[in-house]
Amino acid sequence: MAVDTSAVAKLDVEPGTLPETMAAWVIRQEREGEPKDAFQLEQIEVPEPGAFEVIVRVMAAGVNFNNVWASLGEPVSVFGYGDHPEFGHHIGGSDASGVVWKVGEGVTRWKVGDEVVIHCNQASYEDVEVHGLDPMAAPSQRIWGYETTWGSFAQFTKVQAQQLLPKPRNLSWVDSSSYGLTYFTAYRMLMDQCNMQAGDNVLIWGAAGGLGVFAVQLCKAAGANAVGVVSSDEKGELIKKLGAVDYVNRNEFREMMRTDDNLTDPAADKARFKGSRAFSNRVKEILGDAPDIVFEHVGRATFPTSVLTVKPFGKVVICGATSGYQLDFDVRYLWMKQKQIIGSHFANAYECMRANQLMAEGKVRPVLSETMGFEGVPHAHQLMHENKHMGKIAILVGAESEDEGKYEDGPGAIRAEVGA
Ligand SMILES: NC(=O)c1ccc[n+]([C@@H]2O[C@H](COP(=O)([O-])OP(=O)(O)OC[C@H]3O[C@@H](n4cnc5c(N)ncnc54)[C@H](OP(=O)(O)O)[C@@H]3O)[C@@H](O)[C@H]2O)c1
């Protein structure tokens, strides 16, 4: 059945009642590939909430890199795990704002009609790690809308009740759909994993990207000094507006990147090392010292430079590997200078709640480059795949305009012009 994207904001059911089917952007295993082809619009059954689950009407959805990976089927296909084998489809989308539409058995903190932001971590209530260590350590831990289906690129989504956070009243549906995954990840990396302090110096790769725009703002809010790495001066100006001390345009240091060629050719590796050294010196010049923390997610291309650049006893915190996940570096710079490498992945519900509070207080703001209609889901992911975006892209689902849902004065999202 052809799905009419212009009708997604219209519903003919009242809160508390679910329609039988809904419009959803669906990836199926047989069409994994470029995002523009992998996502197809389908009419799908609406799920019922189980115990401690909630069905949320999606008002707006945020776009993240994880569903570029889901489209491509790389580094592994999502269809092998989570609830995908049960349902056979992937409805992606790990960020949303919306309205609680139906609650399952046992849910007491939330009721039909509540306006919410959704964080993307799921874990089973029965796993002991959830109750004493960290839900991120639970064997059942999954990222909703990536490792599970029923994500936010649909009229309704199914989540665990613990994923809900109050929607800030000063932010529109679109603004509040745009930050959860990347902002909460950056919050855990800097605030908890690195215990960032006022006065710390921080180097942030991809500082105008989804994680970077929040890492920069968190540094500013905590009194730390951020230097961002970007690939254009336009992006550099954006991050200075967000509070970075300054930026480095990585195109001036192209030779520092790890590539297949300089991995196997000692002469080329010497030139790469020289490039890394020059980059480290530039960072030191800007900050007056080497960084206490390097905020990593680029991976293979930048990791040797990160380990070299961080201060003795400093921390390289890493949550991703856009350029490749087989990392190599000269370990002497790690042990001789007693540096640490810290892995980090999303955040727990408590961290999400604390970070969301900073949003409600206007101390950290969403950064939106573009808002698209529901039809824009494949295109938005394609742009991200090609690194042609800046900040975050949001998708209108139940909301019909960018300002809908903002009830109080206060700073909304920072609108960043698209460029790159
Ligand atoms: N584990 C987690 O919980 C978690 C959470 C969020 C994201 N991630 C992962 O982290 C990565 C970044 O996510 P994001 O949302 O920030 O993505 P993004 O919006 O695409 O931003 C990443 C930035 O990295 C820079 N970059 C890309 N390729 C590069 C290269 N070869 N060398 C140097 N810089 C490069 C680009 O900035 P410039 O071109 O301006 O330098 C880009 O804007 C992704 O792989 C994502 O899957 C993991």
pLDDT one-digit tens code per residue, 332-359: 999 999 999 999 999 999 999 999 999 9
CA neighbor of 120 nearest in space, from 68, 173, 67, 73: 67
Looking at the structure, do residues 229 and 108 belong to the same domain, yes or no?
no
Give pLDDT, residue 391: 64
> What does the DSSP assignment read for 93-149?
-S-EEEEEEEE-TT--S--TT-EEEE--EE--TT-THHHHT-GGGSTT-EETTTTSS
**Ligand 1 binding pocket mutation candidate from 184, 203, 260, 322 (most atoms within 8 A of CB):** 322
Domain extent at residue 64: 5-179+366-415
- Cα-based torsion angle of the residue sequence 344, 347, 350, 354 in order, rounded to the nearest 10 degrees: 90
Tell me how far apart the alpha carbons of residues 302 and 313 are, in angstroms, rounded to a whole number.
Answer: 19
pLDDT for residue 418 is more than 60: no
Tell me how far apart the alpha carbons of residues 35 and 357 are, in angstroms, rounded to a whole number.
Answer: 33
What separation in Å is there between the alpha carbon of 73 and the centre of ligand 1? Answer: 18
Quote the tokens at residue 20: 């039988």
CA neighbor of 52 nearest in space, from 163, 176, 200: 163
Give pLDDT, residue 3: 79
Confidence of residue 390 (pLDDT cuts 50, 70, 90): low
What separation in Å is there between the alpha carbon of 67 and the centre of ligand 1? Answer: 13
CATH of the domain at 83: 3.90.180.10
Looking at the structure, do residues 246 and 309 belong to the same domain, yes or no?
yes
Looking at the structure, do residues 167 and 260 belong to the same domain, yes or no?
no
- Over residues 25-37, the pLDDT tens digits come to 999 999 999 999 9
Give pLDDT, residue 45: 98
- Domain-embedded: residue 69: yes
Tell me how far apart the alpha carbons of residues 177 and 181 are, in angstroms, rounded to a whole number.
Answer: 10
What separation in Å is there between the alpha carbon of 54 and the centre of ligand 1? Answer: 31
- Domain-embedded: residue 318: yes
- Domain-embedded: residue 242: yes
Give pLDDT, residue 57: 98
- Domain's final residue, options 305, 328, 343: 343
Quote the tokens at residue 137: 């350590």
pLDDT for residue 417 is more than 70: no
Total domains in the fold of the chain: 2
Q: Is 213 in the pocket of ligand 1 (CB under 6 A)?
A: no
Q: Is 322 in the pocket of ligand 1 (CB under 6 A)?
A: yes
Q: Is 301 in the pocket of ligand 1 (CB under 6 A)?
A: yes
Q: Name, in order, each residue with C-beta under 8 angstroms of 87's C-beta and a sequence gap of 6 or more.
A: 149, 150
Q: Is 302 in the pocket of ligand 1 (CB under 6 A)?
A: yes
- Over residues 200-249, the pLDDT tens digits come to 999 999 999 999 999 999 999 999 999 999 999 999 999 999 999 999 99
The Cβ-side half-sphere exposure at 6, using a 13 Å CA radius, reads 0
The Cβ-side half-sphere exposure at 358, using a 13 Å CA radius, reads 22
pLDDT for residue 419 is more than 50: no
- Over residues 91-149, the pLDDT tens digits come to 999 999 999 999 999 999 999 999 999 999 999 999 999 999 999 999 999 999 999 99
What separation in Å is there between the alpha carbon of 68 and the centre of ligand 1? Answer: 12
- Domain-embedded: residue 350: no
Looking at the structure, do residues 159 and 278 belong to the same domain, yes or no?
no
- Domain-embedded: residue 359: no
Looking at the structure, do residues 335 and 246 belong to the same domain, yes or no?
yes
Confidence of residue 1 (pLDDT cuts 50, 70, 90): low
Looking at the structure, do residues 159 and 304 belong to the same domain, yes or no?
no
Q: Say how many residues make up the chain.
A: 420
Tell me how far apart the alpha carbons of residues 399 and 405 are, in angstroms, rounded to a whole number.
Answer: 8
pTM of the model: 0.96
Are 64 and 381 in contact by the 8 Å Cβ rule? The answer is no
Looking at the structure, do residues 386 and 309 belong to the same domain, yes or no?
no
Looking at the structure, do residues 192 and 97 belong to the same domain, yes or no?
no
Q: Which residues pair with 102 in a beta bridge?
A: 55
Looking at the structure, do residues 33 and 166 belong to the same domain, yes or no?
yes
Residues 307, 343, 199, CA angle at the centre, nearest 5°? 65
Looking at the structure, do residues 224 and 326 belong to the same domain, yes or no?
yes
- Cα-based torsion angle of the residue sequence 155, 168, 391, 201 in order, rounded to the nearest 10 degrees: -140
- Domain's final residue, options 309, 328, 343: 343
What separation in Å is there between the alpha carbon of 16 and the centre of ligand 1? Answer: 39
Tell me how far apart the alpha carbons of residues 354 and 105 are, in angstroms, rounded to a whole number.
Answer: 27
Looking at the structure, do residues 219 and 123 belong to the same domain, yes or no?
no
Q: Is 258 in the pocket of ligand 1 (CB under 6 A)?
A: no
- Domain-embedded: residue 194: yes
- Over residues 4-54, the pLDDT tens digits come to 888 899 999 999 999 999 999 999 999 999 999 999 999 999 999 999 999
Q: Is 387 in the pocket of ligand 1 (CB under 6 A)?
A: yes
Looking at the structure, do residues 175 and 186 belong to the same domain, yes or no?
no
- Domain-embedded: residue 352: no
Confidence of residue 392 (pLDDT cuts 50, 70, 90): confident
